[in-house]
Structure 1
Amino acid sequence: MDFENVLTLIQKELRDAFRNRWFLLYAIAFAALSLALAWFSVSGAGSFGVAGFGRTTAGLINLILLIVPLMGLTLGAMSLAGEREKGTLIYLLAQPISGAELLLGKFVGLALALTAALVIGFGLTGVFMVIKGGGGDFRVFLTLLILSVLLAVASLSLGFLISAAVKRAATAVGLALFLWLVLVYFGDLGLMGTAVVVGLKVEQLLTLALINPLQVFKLAAVFDLRQNLEVLGPAGIYAFRTYGGALWPMLVGLLLAWVVLPFLLATWVFKKRGVI
């Protein structure tokens, strides 16, 4: 593998991402909503007695669950399918590069673009909190940024898999939006409704949560914020009592698996399907 080719493709993807209107819209919306949450956290200090990074972090978790997977899924879905539909994918592969170099360069470039958008959003929020004298544990805020990047790249990997399997960009984006709705629905409300209707046991409820990257992120974020999962109900209490100190590395490992496995599967699908 020629890493000079990969680096060139990474630079191309970064430029394309920051010219993408939808990506810029998502990034600006995330930064604006993050700042709004920070402002409410500071302004509510007198009423609730707490403010700062801890309260802002708690508010950001639900915002991240909605916006960040949508950013990653749609950006990944448009990557290969968009190039294939425009015919530029054939042009790229006509150059002295391999398919593996193309996929790795595009994926890393888009992952860096997502990371940059999140760092800017979190950075502006952090600076605002410091200027306004917000207290709390900055480490928790920084950990949430790292978990958000993992969730974004995991979502990108799933979008990449969709993009490798379909021909048209519109179809890929439609499937990505559908998957986003499914993942969001099978969050707390969906799992709660399923548990009531089907009569799931607590260990089955936890298993359903662990196969959803959004819920894995939420479990990890809440655990880091509170050092327990009682706020998430029986499934959270069961997870904490069952895994104890191993819970945090297990959750991070699951997020990493959601990054690597869909990308590897996308590589296999791309090789089987071909360029057209």
Structure 2
Amino acid sequence: MILLHNVTPKVFGLLARKELHDALRNRWFVLYTLVFSLLALVLSWMGLASGQLYGLAGFGRTTASLINLVMLIVPLMGLTLGALSLALEREQGTLLYVLAQPITPAEVLLGKLLGLATALTATLSIGFGLSGLVLAWRGSTIGLGAFLGLLGLAILLALFSLSLGLLFSSALPRTAAALGSALFAWLLLVFLGDLGLLGSALVLRMPIEALFTLSLLNPLQVFKLAAILLLQSDLQVLGPAGQYAMHIYGLRLLPLSIGLLGLWTLVPLLPAHLFFHRRGAL
């Protein structure tokens, strides 16, 4: 609610369109789009080639393969683009000109978030769209619902990554520092996921309840939990922690995971606004 105070929709929309236009001209964004689309196409083609019956489980097999791709690439895209957004303009001096206008920091922050989110949604839609066209051409529509659901979860994960990147960009004065912090956060989120939880469970002899609660503190693990639930109705693939979660929450686990991922998207925005309001263009 604090972020929405004194936010003018017209100004907010203009800033979002400017950010979208800048993102489309960003060479990193173009590279991310090409890489993600190419990898999605390769995974879909490999999923078809590995099946004896092309029309069966094409979308389901590809959706399972895309989960790891999304967990690896999407946070990297969101974190780096978000970290470069404010810090780069601060170094170039354009942020000082923007804030000299009758515009609030909240409008600038939310405008950048919306513009970058639109750009990343386009990237994900292109990658998923090309993959889906290949599968529909050679296969069937079995598993299409989970495939589209994964796209929605990927967009939520991109929003979280952008929010966290904007937090680094608003708190740190230099582009190098913001980008370095974003890359370090990406490493922590990706490589301290399954490996970190497994190591902690073995060393500390953690109970199942604590292990599951700890996994919810990593948005990438929450995404993985929701994605697996889209593919199948149980979490046996996650071992005892997954079985414990299904036993406790049952059918409520999927909406709970989606809601928690959406909440993680909002968490970095408030401190990002506080840092940006205090630091401004300096």
TM-score normalized with structure 1 length: 0.96
Question: In the TM superposition, what whole-angstrom CA distance separates every residue of 1:52-104 from its partner, at most 9, and x where no partner exists?
Answer: 10000000000110000000010111111111111111100112212111111
Structure 2 match to 1:132: 138
CA distance in 1, matches of 2:262, 2:274: 19
Contact 2:55/2:138 (CA < 8 Å) preserved in 1?
no
Shift of 1:272: 2.3
Structure 2 match to 1:266: 272
Residue 213 (str. 1) matches residue 219 (str. 2): yes
Shift of 1:49: 9.6
Q: Which amino acid aligns with 1:16?
A: D
CA distance in 2, matches of 1:18, 1:104: 18
Distance 1:189 1:134, change over 3 A: farther
Q: Which amino acid aligns with 1:7?
A: G
Distance 1:48 1:191, change over 3 A: farther
Contact 1:195/1:205 (CA < 8 Å) preserved in 2?
yes
Q: Which amino acid aligns with 1:143?
A: G
| Aligned pair partner of 1:84 in 70, 82, 90 | 90
CA distance in 2, matches of 1:24, 1:223: 32
CA distance in 2, matches of 1:22, 1:240: 40
Contact 2:48/2:54 (CA < 8 Å) preserved in 1?
no
| Aligned pair partner of 2:50 in 27, 44, 53 | 44
Please say which of residues 145-154 and 42-51 is displaced more in the overlay. 42-51
SS, match of residue 267 in structure 2: helix
Residue 93 (str. 1) matches residue 103 (str. 2): no
RMSD: 1.4
Structure 1 match to 2:177: 171
Gaps of 5+ in 1: none
Aligned length, in residue pairs: 276
CA distance in 2, matches of 1:245, 1:43: 34
Residue 243 (str. 1) matches residue 249 (str. 2): yes
Structure 2 match to 1:225: 231
Shift of 1:261: 1.7
Gaps of 5+ in 2: 1-6
SS, match of residue 45 in structure 1: coil
Structure 1 match to 2:160: 154
